[in-house]
Amino acid sequence: MKKIIYFIALGMLASLSLVSCLKEDSVDAPTVNEVKMYMTDKSGKDSLITQPTKGKPMRFVVITEADICSVWPGGDRQIIKKKISLDGGVTFADSIDMFNHPVLKVSDLYLDYGLVGSKGLKTAQNAEGWYCTYTYKTAGTFDLSIVVTNHGYNSPDYNQVVVPGGKITVK
């Protein structure tokens, strides 16, 4: 009888050790609370701005509880145009991939997600939130997109949300 009780207790202990009671197992979709923009003023301090200036570095700060965050400012999109061959100056047609999409030199516009050459800005985290530095090269209106992710990368509980950050008008 003692052996049977011993094996039952051992089985229950083993099964309880394999059961997870962690809060992380139920993952909520990430949200973005706020996006702030800063530029360094003449005194060297960061100033909150509403409209960036072309050619001057600015900083995006994303206030979120997400595990991972990337910023797609939409200010740079360059398609690879005609290439000159090495065998005598013959030019090729515009570069397209096998799905008839343009091949990009670079793009930080979220609409290009998945195309060759497009990527968002990598961010770092501080006490205020996720931040990155960016410089708009031209004036105009650009679409800002924020991609936030919870609970790691490529896990069964992977939750990624694309949040439109609105229009950024650069003077």
Residue 59 and residue 71 in contact, taking contact as beta carbons nearer than 8 Å: no
* Residues pairing with 61 in the sheet: 36, 131
In this model, does residue 85 exceed pLDDT 70?
A: no
Of 171, 115, 122, nearest to 147 by C-alpha is: 122
User: What is the pLDDT, as a whole number, of residue 152?
Assistant: 59
Note the pLDDT of residue 84. 62
Q: What percent of the chain has a predicted confidence (pLDDT) above 90?
A: 35
Identify which of 109, 170, 105 has the alpha carbon closest to the alpha carbon of residue 143. 109
Architecture of domain 27-170: Sandwich (2.60)
Give the model's pLDDT for residue 164. Answer: 92
Q: Convert the pLDDT of each residue in 125-165 to its tens digit.
A: 998 899 999 999 999 999 999 999 887 556 666 778 899 98
Closest CA to 106 of 66, 75, 144: 75
pLDDT greater than 90 at residue 20: no
Q: Is the pLDDT of residue 82 over 80?
A: no
Mean pLDDT of the chain: 82
Give the pLDDT confidence score for residue 123 in this predicted structure: 92
Predicted pLDDT of residue 9:
75
User: What pLDDT is stored for residue 52 in this prediction?
Assistant: 92
pLDDT at 150: 83
Mean pLDDT of 76-89: 70
Give buried/exposed letters for 17-36 (b at 16+ CB in 10 A, else e): eeeeeeeeeebeebebeebb
pTM listed for this prediction = 0.72
DSSP-assigned letters across all residues of 50-109: SS--TTS-EEEEEEE--SEEEEE----EEE----B-TTTSPBPPPPB-TTSPBPEEEE--
Please report the pLDDT score of residue 36 as a whole number: 92
Mean pLDDT computed over 12-33: 67
Which tens digit of pLDDT belongs to each residue from 51-68?
999 999 999 999 998 888
What is the model's pLDDT at position 58?
93
CA nearest to 73, candidates 26, 99, 130, 111: 111
Domain borders along the chain are: 27-170
